[in-house]
Amino acid sequence: ERVGHVPIPPYLDRPDEPTDRERYQTVYAKHMGSVAAPTAGLHFDACLLDALAQRGIQTVEVTLHVGPGTFEPVRTERIEDHRMHEEAYTVSPEAAERLTRVREAGGRIVAVGTTVVRTLETLAQNAAPGQALRPGSGRTRLFIRPGFVFRLTDALLTNFHQPQSTL
């Protein structure tokens, strides 16, 4: 925090500025651990979250600590040969229960950002089909690429991403 720099996206093509520390952060950030902000969440503010809640749209918070590998491009000729970087995630018992209830009720789960998708799909892979999602902390190397079968995520809201990136 004292000596580091805010890792702003490379497409901004400029050094970080003091104002980036506040501007390049989500309104729901709570835990230290990520090397960068989950950029899809930058578009959400308290007013928008309140408006969604007023329309009956529930939110569930999960944590995935974005690691330094998020800035690494795919360097293999074949996408299947790429080894994904590892990142830490945490899902509270309340979040796991709420996600399980939504799924059981036939509701839709819309992930905001690829970090959320990686967390949700790792949870789904760690649970037996038809069983409740298990809360907890762990690490994921999940690499979502063409052909991936989604078990929990119905839709994704994200940003445009650089070609050859793992985002």
Count of domains for the chain: 1
136: in domain: yes
Distance CA 153, CA 105 (A): 14
For residue 164, the model assigns a pLDDT of: 60
pLDDT, one tens digit per residue, over 109-153 is 999 988 899 999 999 999 988 889 999 999 999 998 889 999 999
- Kindly give the pairing relationship between strand 87-91 and strand 136-140: antiparallel
111 in a domain, yes or no?
yes
* Predicted confidence (pLDDT) per residue in 26-85, tens digit: 887 777 777 777 778 888 899 999 999 999 999 999 988 887 777 778 888 998 888 888
**163, part of any domain:** no
Give the side-chain half-sphere CA count within 13 A for 151.
17
Locus of tokens 């945490």: 90
Give the dihedral sign, CA 100/101/107/110: negative
Q: Is the pTM higher than 0.85?
A: no
Q: Is residue 5 part of a domain?
A: no
Given a cut of 90, is residue 94 above it in pLDDT?
yes
Query: 97 or 164: whose pLDDT is higher?
Result: 97
- pLDDT score recorded for residue 69: 73
H or E element: which one contains 156? strand 155-157
Both tokens of 33, joined, read 């651990």
In a domain, 166, yes or no: no
Domain extent at residue 103:
10-157
